Structure 1
Amino acid sequence: MTKNGTSPRPANTLAMAGDNTYNENSGQQYLAMEASLPLFDDLSFGRDATFVDYGCSQGAASMAVMQRLVSRLPPYSTASVVFNDLPSNDFNSLIKLLPSISPLDPTITVYPCISPNSFYNSVAPACTVDVAFALSSIHWLRQVPPPKSAEESFEEYLRKRNTRNAAASHQDLVEFLNLRGREVKPGGKLIVAAPSPCADDIDGRISGNEKLRCALFKAMDILIAAGKLPANATAGVYPPNHVHTERSFRAAVTETGAMWTIEKVYSKVIPHPAYQSMLESRSIKEDTKIRNALREQYAGIVMDWMLAVFKPFMRTWWMEQGLEEGVCEQVFQECSEQAKVEFVKSGGAELPVAQDFVFVRLNRS
């Protein structure tokens, strides 16, 4: 029991959808990685260096950063590159990408290492890490929040969850910074690209994001009504995460004492790449049939992107509620296709799916 008499929440142990699914649907996360690269440009480190990615997932974005870091090493160096994520992560997909870290200088030796562990635990020995980074990962909470109650609509649940998760998110960020503070060398760097609340709806991205989520839950409601999903199928499928702001970063850094100093910080909107492609294609012709086809194509891409995150939570919760494992994949595919239809019907396919990000570089004091 916790101090307030409630039962502790279960740990978050589920990684992204496997079989390279996350890599194939992480275009927006890759753009966020590219937007973080200026924070790596002026780094310096010794001949033998250790680089750690906390929350590497299946490695598509991680490899690009590791290659960039390794290329900055002087001749006859060694580089230990450590990829950390939950034990349930699809490390096989990541391993296949390791040859992409190929130093141009043949005198540089790279030693890859996989660390299957929550980054809310120790990941590396004390004072061994030169550059640590976490790109699109530290918004994941350590524990799974309570599921949606039967009395709440999905919209009400979304409105309340930010307030409910804020305290846990702050504690998790402080713990993450304290742990990395023990592992990163004095003078070493921690670089973070973290999803942040959308600042405004001028371009419709808040509406687009909401319509995408609501389309998925509408699809589940349809399958519940058809008897294909358990009655409580929507209650516990929302991923346990909470976005950060520059303000929340500064508050967490302050709470770690003099451990960290913020060197650089900036924010940027990262749209899903499919939206810009749709706009460019749509401007070629105004034919209604073409426009509808483009909307359906866009809906398919962004829904698959979201489901690469949601799928493990959906399947796990559905089976906990009584759905047979043997039919789970078939029902998931039906839900996916229905959600894409609902997204188009709601007008979401005419709006951007985009995420604000905050980018921070910290120096270990």
Structure 2
Amino acid sequence: MTTKEILHMNAGHGETSYARNSTVQAITGLCEPTSTILPKSMAIADLGCSSGPNALTLVSAALDAIHHHCAQQQQPPPEVCVFLNDLPSNDFNSVAKSLATLKHSHGDLDDPVVITGIGMIPGSFYERLFPCGSLHFVCSSNSLHWLSKAPDDLKEGKIPMYDMVEHLRVSRRAAVRDAYARQFRKDFTQFLSLRAQELVTGGRMVISLYGRCSENPISRSNQAWQVVAVALNDMASRGIIDKEKLDSFYIPLYAPLENEVNEIIEDEGSFEINKMLVRNPFSGMDDATVSPKMIALSIRAVFESTVVLHFGSSEEIMDEFAKTVEQKLSSGSAWRAVLAAEYPLKSY
């Protein structure tokens, strides 16, 4: 089963996040080189909007950026059409309920941005979603590290994502890493090519995704799913989940290195990188806030649909999963691995 059929997750974005600040710069970049005037009408799209209270964060930031830019330039704001995209399993009803709040908050501004239409577009962003040359601004946050599917060559070769036998796991580490890297390159290249067709000439895109910072061979093999695999391996060893099912379990997620992202963007050729930033998501947060329990609950929220689909629906299994993840994170080494592996790599 492919990612687009099973995956649904939530992600949050703070007021001071890079995504919000970079959005302002990207909106300004839409102006003609010799002018500060925005188009009379604009279309913006959030790809991987998710649901819940943060679903409209990026769109709201874009509308704020348009409003402030027009206020500074003393020009009337453009009419804006907003498109919200996620997989068909996303809770779009929840997103729809947030739209009234969005319109109300921007309607209170002096000379507000006029939202002329809002569309919800279910589907994978690894497929065409919009007509050619129809979008001015595209944003995507905490989504592009999810692959369209797990690597076929691992499944066909019956190479586990995380082998229970340690010496086999070590010997296959490079093969697993390279298979995931190839799938990420294929998917990310496809994403860039499709968005290049859908954006107007001079359009802008802001994206963020989880990445890794170190070239160290051991660190290079760390992935955002590693602590999940460690916890499931522990549960399999205790007979809570089936060992054979663990061997055939693959999480379609890859955290790339910065140079991988750079190289793919350059090789695909449709976009130029205006700015790239690597940031520790836990920077400025104390250990009491970023606790193993909090991270374990977040991991459960993100991975539960994938785990349940493969191992079966059971509240007891998921409770044990969260408990085991928390225990592994509390042990120290696994906790540091998560911190090292999950630095969001944000680029536009």
User: TM-score w.r.t. structure 1 length?
Assistant: 0.73
Q: Does structure 2 retain, via aligned residues, the 8 Å contact 1:271–1:352?
A: no
Q: Does structure 2 retain, via aligned residues, the 8 Å contact 1:130–1:189?
A: yes
Q: Distance in 1 between matches of 2:331 and 2:257?
A: 32
**After the TM superposition, which residues 314-353 of structure 1 pair with which residues of structure 2 at under 5 Å, given as runs?**
314-319=307-312, 325=313, 328-346=314-332, 348=334, 353=339
Match of 1:241, SS state, is: coil
% identical aligned pairs: 18
**After the TM superposition, which residues 257-296 of structure 1 pair with which residues of structure 2 at under 5 Å, given as runs?**
257=269, 259-262=270-273, 264-272=274-282, 276-278=285-287
- 2:130 equivalent in structure 1: 124
Q: Distance in 2 between matches of 1:55 and 1:97?
A: 16
Q: Distance in 2 between matches of 1:162 and 1:217?
A: 14
Shift of 1:183: 0.5
Does structure 1 residue 357 correspond to structure 2 residue 344?
yes
Q: Does structure 2 retain, via aligned residues, the 8 Å contact 1:16–1:308?
A: no
Match of 2:28, SS state, is: coil
C-alpha distance 62-214 of structure 1, shift in aligned 2 (>3 A): closer
Match of 2:6 among 4, 10, 14: 14
- 2:33 equivalent in structure 1: none
- 2:192 equivalent in structure 1: 177
Shift of 1:48: 1.4
Shift of 1:54: 1.4
C-alpha distance 238-30 of structure 1, shift in aligned 2 (>3 A): farther
Match of 1:308, SS state, is: helix
Deviation per residue, 1:58-85 (Å, 9 max, x gap): 2655523212322315546421111111
- 1:249 equivalent in structure 2: 261
Q: Does structure 1 retain, via aligned residues, the 8 Å contact 2:181–2:256?
A: no
C-alpha distance 159-302 of structure 1, shift in aligned 2 (>3 A): farther
Q: Distance in 2 between matches of 1:107 and 1:135?
A: 23
Match of 2:119, SS state, is: strand
C-alpha distance 155-32 of structure 1, shift in aligned 2 (>3 A): farther
- 1:67 equivalent in structure 2: 60
**After the TM superposition, which residues 99-138 of structure 1 pair with which residues of structure 2 at under 5 Å, given as runs?**
99-101=101-103, 102-103=105-106, 104=109, 105-106=111-112, 108-138=114-144
Shift of 1:226: 4.2
| Structure 2, gaps ≥5 residues long | 31-37, 71-75
- Range with bigger deviation, 28-37 or 310-319: 28-37
Match of 1:308 among 284, 301, 312: 301
Give the letter for the 2:306 counterpart.
Answer: F
C-alpha distance 214-256 of structure 1, shift in aligned 2 (>3 A): closer
C-alpha distance 236-13 of structure 1, shift in aligned 2 (>3 A): farther
Q: Does structure 2 retain, via aligned residues, the 8 Å contact 1:253–1:261?
A: yes
User: Which of the pair has the greater relative contact order for Cα pairs under 8 Å at 6+ separation?
Assistant: 1
Shift of 1:212: 8.7
C-alpha distance 220-61 of structure 1, shift in aligned 2 (>3 A): same
Deviation per residue, 1:2-41 (Å, 9 max, x gap): xxxxxxx855432234xxxx25xx4699945346446436
Q: Does structure 2 retain, via aligned residues, the 8 Å contact 1:265–1:358?
A: no
Does structure 1 residue 223 correspond to structure 2 residue 235?
yes
| Structure 1, gaps ≥5 residues long | 1-8, 282-293, 320-324
- Range with bigger deviation, 330-339 or 68-77: 68-77
- Range with bigger deviation, 124-133 or 307-316: 307-316
C-alpha distance 215-186 of structure 1, shift in aligned 2 (>3 A): closer
Shift of 1:302: 0.9
Q: Does structure 1 retain, via aligned residues, the 8 Å contact 2:136–2:204?
A: yes
C-alpha distance 232-225 of structure 1, shift in aligned 2 (>3 A): same
Shift of 1:336: 1.0
